[in-house]
A and B are shown apart, each in its own frame.
Chain A
């Protein structure tokens, strides 16, 4: 039987090959076929997840709620020292020095990344801004969000902090961070679906010892992950509860 793996579309483009290496490595460890399918869009991926197409998902924390509570997935591991944080940035030449300087009517460039968008909107609350009094401009990638700031098409932009930090020095030098979230407990995780449940002990064992051998270590490096940490069901439920508090 061949299982299906997908990865949250917000991974850095530089690490696409890393996920293919990971898929090959995991198939060898489990001695079973796994097909990797990548998406550009959260919506398209979510439609296929709901159609129960996938058995293994490296998921955005926002999707973890649906996967665990509706589709019976179980989180088995998370990348160590990698939490999902959101940055709100502006053009370096703009007058905005703090979030509170943004006013009703502000044009906000964002992506379809649900975590980053949710956290970005939460950080705008201190300026009394919400979806009813801002112009939300959804873009296809963080690079396009940055372009919007640089060409004056948006007043502020939301970025996954990791994606912001990985932009070129030239682009970053033309932007300024107004605020960066420091939540630390919201992160991606690898979840296993019901059809693959019998493999959970083997998957966990393989992931948690992955950094101990050269092959596993080089695959981790290609994914920009130092090592995996175990996730139990209570840690997953806690993260889901926390995200639920942020969604009105």
Chain B
């Protein structure tokens, strides 16, 4: 798919782990990951965004002001199973780097796939937050992940 594809929109209620609920517009349209770029963001230990680079701003469709200070889960697409994020938080909670393929939700309801890596930021032995770097995934990895996440979602 490309960003020229158009599909119908649907409203989905997304419930986050902290009890927050929002209704998001979902469009079945993929925005291709830009060649050569890295999407970079940083959060505090609770996942609140403290830094977003221009590639993140461009791909998410939000302005920098809309991103800073909100939880990173604003990008969570309803097609992503909760267990995938549990794995992420369990891994980084142990102070270990996490890699995974993620379908992200844009502000306009479209989506983009990334290969994400999240690393804890340790300063003087203390956890100060996390850095997340996203890069372009291969089509085969996207297809594998799509199939896996559908199965996991069905089990939730």
User: A interface vs B, CB < 8 Å?
Assistant: 98-100, 122-123, 125-128, 179-185, 234, 237-238, 241-242, 244-246, 248
Against A, the Cβ 8 Å flags (1 = close, 0 = not) of B1-45 are 000000000000000000000000000000001111110101000
Partner of B36, one of A100, A125, A179, A237: A179
Interface centre among B123, B133, B140 (most CB of A within 10 A): B133
Say yes or no: B140 contacts A237, CB within 8 Å: no
A192 to B131, CA, bound (A): 26
Partner of B97, one of A125, A238, A245: A245
Say yes or no: B119 contacts A241, CB within 8 Å: yes
- The secondary-structure label for the interface of chain A is helix
Task: Knowing A125-B115, A126-B137, A185-B53 are in contact, say whether A241-B121 is a contact too (CB < 8 A).
Answer: yes
Find chain A residues with CB under 8 A from B137 CB: 125-126
Interface presence of B138 (CB below 8 A): yes
Against A, the Cβ 8 Å flags (1 = close, 0 = not) of B121-136 are 1010000000111011
Say yes or no: A99 contacts B133, CB within 8 Å: no
The A-B contact count (CB < 8 A) is 63
A97 to B144, CA, bound (A): 25
Find chain B residues with CB under 8 A from A127 CB: 138
Q: With both chains docked as a complex, state the minimum distance between the C-beta of B72 and any C-beta of chain A, in angstroms.
A: 15
Residue of A nearest to B132 (CB): A245
A99 to B138, CA, bound (A): 10
Task: Knowing A244-B97, A244-B119, A245-B117 are in contact, say whether A122-B135 is a contact too (CB < 8 A).
Answer: yes
A237 to B35, CA, bound (A): 26
Say yes or no: A182 contacts B40, CB within 8 Å: no
A98 to B35, CA, bound (A): 10
Say yes or no: A180 contacts B133, CB within 8 Å: no
Find chain B residues with CB under 8 A from A100 CB: 138-139
Find chain A residues with CB under 8 A from B53 CB: 184-185
